Structures are given as C-alpha cells and as structure tokens.
Structure 1
Amino acid sequence: MTRLTGRALRVTVFVGEHDTWHHKPLYSEIVHRARAAGLAGASVFRGVEGFGASSLIHTSRLLSLSEDLPVAVVIVDDEERVRAFLPQLDELVTEGLVTLDDCEVIRYSGRKSEQDKPGAKGKKSL
C-alpha cells in the first residue's frame, strides 16, 4: 500500500459523462491508468449540473435536453507521481479541464484484508 501523508498534489479532471476513449468511458480509462501508474487513489464524482468552455448547460433536471452530465476525476498523490502521470492525461483529455492544486494529506488508509485482521488463520481453499 502506498504511504501518503503531508504535502501532496491533487489533479482534478473535468470531462463529460459521455466522453469516451476507445468505446470505454473516459473517466474509467483515467481511473484504470492511474491505478496502473501506482497512484495512491482516484475517485469519480458525477455532477448534477454544469457548463464548460462551450457554455452549454448540462443538467440532470427533468425536461432537460442535455444528459451529458459533468464528471470530475480526482487523484491525489505526491507531486512527483502526479506530474509523471500528466502526459497520460494530455493524451486522453482532448476536451475538458485539468487542474492541479497543492493539498495536505492528513490521513490515508485502506481497509484491512481478512488475512490482516487479528485472529485470521489464513485463506481457506476449497
């Protein structure tokens, strides 16, 4: 597991829900590439309304003509790892917004696996 505390860099990628990369959702491709690159984590957040460079409003409200809702992919890791990942975002994001912010990680921990819990006797096989 990646250890991450203190100063970090947050990259946020704003794209449309229907944006794709090779017939796969773009946000999903970004998350999978971030994992393959060994980044600490990535989360996808779906917006309910927004607009971007085209000034076209995208909304989830009833009777709306637009269903291509905004999506934000947020990745946090140390600056070196995030900056090393930026060329992949340059390749993937042809329309959208990519931002970088300094941040401070206070806590970063995952769930313990069953084998790591006290009293666990190892994995059972059938």
Structure 2
Amino acid sequence: MRLTGPAVRLTIFIGECDVWHHKPLFTEIVHRAHRSGLAGASVFRGIEGYGASALIHTSRLLSLSEDLPVAIVIIDTEERIRGFLPQLDELVPEGLVILDHCEVLLPRPPAGGAPGVGGDTEDR
C-alpha cells in the first residue's frame, strides 16, 4: 500500500560533519528509517545556514566551511513517525527536530527506476 492522505513530515537539521560511530549521522538516520519501514527519507545539503551556535556555515568559496547544514526529511503516518522518535533521542544530541502535518497527494515511483531508489515511497 502506498502512503496517501494525511501524513507527518519529520525534519531533522544537523551538521554535515556530525557522525555516528565513524560514519555520517545523516546516513545512520536514513538507514534506521529504512529498517523501521518508514515510507520515505531524503537528505538535503544546505548551502548556507546557522543554528544555536549562531555561527554561519556557507559553501561560498571564500568561507570554505566544512560543516554545512543538512536536513533529513522523513514522511509517514503520525503513528509511525512518533514511534521512530526515540531513535532520534539516541542519535541527535544537538540539532533541531520538527514535525509538520502534511498531506501526501501523488506518491509516484520514479519513471523506469528501481523501487527504493531516489526517495520514492515503496509498497508496504
């Protein structure tokens, strides 16, 4: 069954250099979301931003920041997203975690792509 209708968007804001057991934290979060059977997850790299530290991180050449902002976006039902939140308590000691209610309108697989590739919503 594909996810359609009311859903919750979980967005986690962290730094690109944040790690979990010597690998990128965003990778661990996406892999845990996948193992948990959540409908879909994507990682977006920011080009500029700041957070609680008030230090601006940017990709502009003169600044040469190595810790750009990263947003991980995960979509599923509210029940399934809330069930995933305890894992974030373990993984994300610093950062920002937000929930938004949303509506999934067109859960389409990629044209000619394999299921599970490119952040599509897989059958469950």
Distance 1:6 1:17 in 2: 32
Larger radius of gyration: 1
Matches of 1:28 and 1:40 in 2, distance apart?
Answer: 16
Task: State the partner residue of 1:46.
Answer: 45
Deviations 1:61-87 (A, max 9, x none): 112152200000000000110000000
SS of the residue corresponding to residue 55 of structure 2 reads coil
**Structure 1 segments unaligned to the other structure (5+ residues):** 115-126
Q: Which moved more, 1:105-114 or 1:40-49?
A: 105-114
Report what 1:92 is aligned to.
91
Aligned residues: 113
Q: Which amino acid aligns with 1:75?
A: I
Shift of 1:113: 7.0
Report the TM-score, using the length of structure 2 for normalisation.
0.86
Cα distance in 2, alignment partners of residues 13 and 32 from structure 1: 14
Per the alignment, residue 104 of structure 1 pairs with 103
| 2:121 counterpart residue number | none
Unaligned runs of 5+ in 2: 115-124
TM-align CA RMSD: 1.5
Cross-structure match for 1:122:
none
CA drift of 1:109 comes to 2.7
Paired position in structure 2 for 1:11: 10
Once residues 26 and 53 of structure 2 are traced to their aligned partners in structure 1, the CA distance between those partners, rounded to angstroms, is 19
Indicate the percent of aligned positions where both proteins have the same amino acid: 71
